[in-house]
Structure 1
């Protein structure tokens, strides 16, 4: 059973969540040719899912942040993980390339988990402690995408392209169980409305400090 609502989640929970969010981007890349061959589809069409996945991720970054501010971090993360599991299963069972691509785009729902993980850290810590925790999460997010293609290539070589999506299913299920048990709600001051959240984007885009930080 989850512990007290005031207890912060373990750092390992946030590292696992962030790692899954970036591993899902490129672990299956070594399998693109085999996916195109099995579905008798143009390789360029299958390859297009990378760019579209990235675009969907960007849009979801803008949506899931306000959702977690409005309704809480825990329900948004749990819902994202559930949808990720459904999408992974859909990719496994896809009978044609269009169904595969549709579920692959759906997998992008997990991509904003890194940003929400950082928000969770800021909810319960500040200063050097927050910087240290964010550093560990960022390190996992930097290392995971470097190792993921090697793992995906090995799985593809041994068991075929669907093995990567079985791995997504296993990793997603394990992360969901971990978050269900350990991720308590940390957002104690939920936003009143979505309108207020989205109005803040205009102010952010007009901030010189924001652009200096992004370009640094």
Structure 2
């Protein structure tokens, strides 16, 4: 029987929610890699331009990881997670609707705000439980973050083959909405 408090705001988030938050940020990094050649053709730009979407995302993601902790200490983990998820969803819609490669790159950089999930999922564990139990839970969250990059490009390649490059970002949008629903509840 399911715990009736699973979607209750007064209880701490479940490990599934934390793994999903961390995994979404890892998936966003590389699900679209097999689609880069098709995206370059779609936007009619050299392949190197589309490769910048990886470097720019990683650079902004790294910078955000430095400041996201202090911001969440000041305003609260939940508020920062909800805000970053909302911005991520808007940026993901932007990647789907981008008319040019430049706009795509701008929205792609904005997607890096989901790095908050990678940072804060582990911080939330430290806030919720004692050190002995935290080590185990952080292990599960980190395992999710580690496995997702291995399967992300495979999923992205299949989606690209059957539905085109936008399917990768549509999946990110769906997963972002699901994560938002879990964090919001």
Give the alignment's TM-score, normalised by structure 2: 0.94
Answering whether residue 30 of structure 2 is matched by residue 23 of structure 1, we say: no
Whether the aligned pair in 1 keeps the contact of 2:68 and 2:119 (CA below 8 Å) is: no
Q: 1:13 aligns with which of 9, 14, 17?
A: 17
1:1-216 to 2 correspondence within 5 Å? 3=8, 5=10, 7-181=11-185
Shift of 1:3: 2.9
Q: Give SS of 1:41's match.
A: coil
Question: Structure 2 unaligned runs (5+)?
Answer: none
CA deviation digits over 1:107-161, x for unaligned, max 9?
Answer: 0000231111111010111222100100000000000010000000000000000
CA deviation digits over 1:12-49, x for unaligned, max 9?
Answer: 11011111010000000000000000111011011012
Q: Distance in 1 between matches of 2:101 and 2:9?
A: 45
How many residues align? The count is 180
Runs of 4+ in 1 over 2 A off after TM superposition: 1-5
Q: Distance in 2 between matches of 1:4 and 1:91?
A: 31
Question: Structure 1 unaligned runs (5+)?
Answer: 182-216
Q: Which has the larger radius of gyration?
A: 1
Give the alignment's TM-score, normalised by structure 1: 0.81
Please give the root-mean-square deviation of Cα atoms over the aligned residues, in Å. 1.2
Q: Distance in 2 between matches of 1:4 and 1:162?
A: 34
Q: Give SS of 1:101's match.
A: helix
